[in-house]
């Protein structure tokens, strides 16, 4: 195998597939990057068993300046190889493979590194009984960013580490919960006539890596099978395994009525939460308190070791019964960030029941964050 290529274009493709490569894999060859050269394109693949990313660089791509001299394939240590390429002196590089040894030259610099047989690299998963749909990349980014914050990071309940997607025609309902908070986003897909009926759970870690690849994309073609999801981004294909099992029923967790309601700008509330958490983070329990009394909202953060902060909130409205409630400020801060500074309704039923944050004056729960309060007595 032998080819030359523009170094910056090659680095971009290396960075894309490197998102799927982990040093903690149980299959040693998956710490390598797979490089295959055909008659008209260069294919790079990275995988960690859970996700796989394949990107293609075509000879017709004038930016890449790919010149193919001899086809073939090899796998090379991903981190070491990428560091070499990023530090080469010239604008282009040449890679030539002799047996299981790769020679990399650029300008006056020359490296030789050992690789492994490309035939030992696991094959990408094959899919049966596929359902397909096309979505706007912007809508997919919206779904991911609105829900990933509430996915669990605890592997003790693997099902909760995923984003639950229920697809019915053009309607998508995405839900995550770690049992302390819940995020829900419901959207109607635009620019497509989907005829999909599917219920899948995709690891939030997979979506996190996918989101980084979606920037600048227009549309994404998605294929779903019983145990895999594939996202086609044109020159890059993203594979993710699905989580097995039944996601918990979450509709019953969302309150249908409230006794107290607060409306204010998300950005203003976020600033107050940040100030209160300066003190709460110094205490062992990391809790702030919100008091709603006689139409006035007050936020308090306390640390027995350091002191106290108290702030009267600048609200648009406070209505309903007086209330005193405590909560983890980090959860509320994460929730507020998804509203991009717009006015939000915060609705309470009691100081021991979960409360919700939704866009102001919206009652359809299409964009909802739910937080469980902290019992302080």
Q: CATH for 254-371, among 3.20.20.70, 3.70.10.10, 3.30.930.10, 3.40.50.300?
A: 3.70.10.10
The fold adopted by the segment(s) 2-120 is DNA Polymerase III; Chain A, domain 2 (3.10.150)
**Half-sphere CA count of 136, side-chain side, radius 13 A:** 13
Mean of pLDDT over the chain: 95
**Residues 196-223 pLDDT 10s:** 899 999 999 999 999 999 988 999 999 9
Same fold, 131-241 and 254-371: no
The domain segmentation of the chain, as residue ranges, is 2-120, 131-241, 254-371
Helix (H, G, I), strand (E, B) or coil at 338: coil
pLDDT at 166: 96
| Residue given tokens 């890449």 in the structure block | 64
User: Average of pLDDT values for 18-37?
Assistant: 94
More confident residue, 325 or 169: 325
Let me know: does 174 contact 338? Beta carbons within 8 Å: no
Q: Which of 243, 241, 244 is nearest to 51 (CA)?
A: 241
CATH 3.20.20.70 describes domain 131-241 = no
Going by C-alpha positions, the residue among 191, 248, 202 that lies closest to residue 224 is 202
Residue 147 burial class via C-beta count within 10 angstroms: exposed 0-12, middle 13-18, buried 19 and up: buried
Backbone angles phi, psi at 170, to 5 degrees: -95, 0
pLDDT surpassing 70 at residue 175: yes
- Distance, CA of 49 to CA of 210 (rounded, Å): 15
Are 219 and 135 within 8 A, CB to CB?
yes
Longest pairwise C-alpha distance within the chain? 80
Give CA–CA dist 342/335, Å, rounded.
12
What pTM does this model have? 0.93
């Amino acid at each position: 195998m032998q080819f030359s290529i523009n170094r910056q274009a090659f680095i971009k493709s290396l960075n894309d597939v490197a998102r799927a490569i982990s040093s903690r894999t149980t299959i040693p060859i998956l710490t390598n990057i797979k490089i295959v050269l055909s008659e008209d394109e260069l294919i790079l693949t990275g995988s960690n068993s859970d996700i796989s990313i394949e990107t293609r660089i075509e000879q017709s791509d004038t930016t890449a300046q790919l010149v193919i001299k001899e086809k073939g394939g090899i796998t090379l240590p991903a981190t070491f190889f990428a560091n070499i390429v990023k530090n080469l002196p010239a604008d282009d590089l040449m890679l030539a493979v002799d047996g299981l040894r790769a020679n990399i030259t650029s300008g006056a610099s020359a490296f030789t590194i050992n690789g492994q047989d490309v035939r030992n690299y696991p094959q990408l998963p094959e899919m049966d009984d596929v359902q397909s749909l096309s979505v706007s990349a912007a809508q997919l980014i919206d779904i991911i960013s609105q829900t990933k914050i509430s996915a669990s990071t605890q592997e003790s309940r693997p099902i909760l580490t995923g984003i639950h997607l229920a697809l019915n025609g053009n309607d998508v309902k995405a839900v995550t919960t770690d049992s302390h908070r819940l995020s829900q986003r419901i959207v109607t897909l635009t620019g497509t006539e989907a005829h999909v009926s599917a219920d899948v759970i995709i690891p939030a870690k997979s979506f996190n890596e996918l989101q980084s690849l979606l920037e600048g994309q227009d549309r994404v073609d998605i294929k779903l099978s019983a145990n895999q999801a594939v996202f086609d981004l044109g020159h890059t294909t993203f594979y993710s395994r699905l989580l097995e099992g039944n996601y918990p029923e979450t509709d019953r967790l969302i309150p249908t009525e409230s006794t107290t309601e607060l409306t204010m700008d998300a950005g203003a509330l976020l600033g107050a939460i940040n100030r209160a958490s300066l003190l709460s983070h110094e205490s062992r329990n990391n809790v702030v308190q919100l008091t709603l009394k006689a139409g006035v909202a007050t936020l308090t953060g306390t640390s027995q070791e350091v002191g106290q902060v108290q702030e009267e909130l600048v609200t648009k409205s406070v209505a309903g019964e007086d209330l005193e409630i405590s909560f983890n400020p980090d959860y509320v801060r994460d929730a507020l960030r998804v509203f991009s500074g717009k006015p939000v309704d915060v609705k309470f039923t009691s100081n021991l029941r979960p409360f919700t944050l939704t866009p102001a004056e919206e009652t359809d729960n299409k964009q909802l964050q739910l937080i469980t309060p902290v019992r302080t007595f």
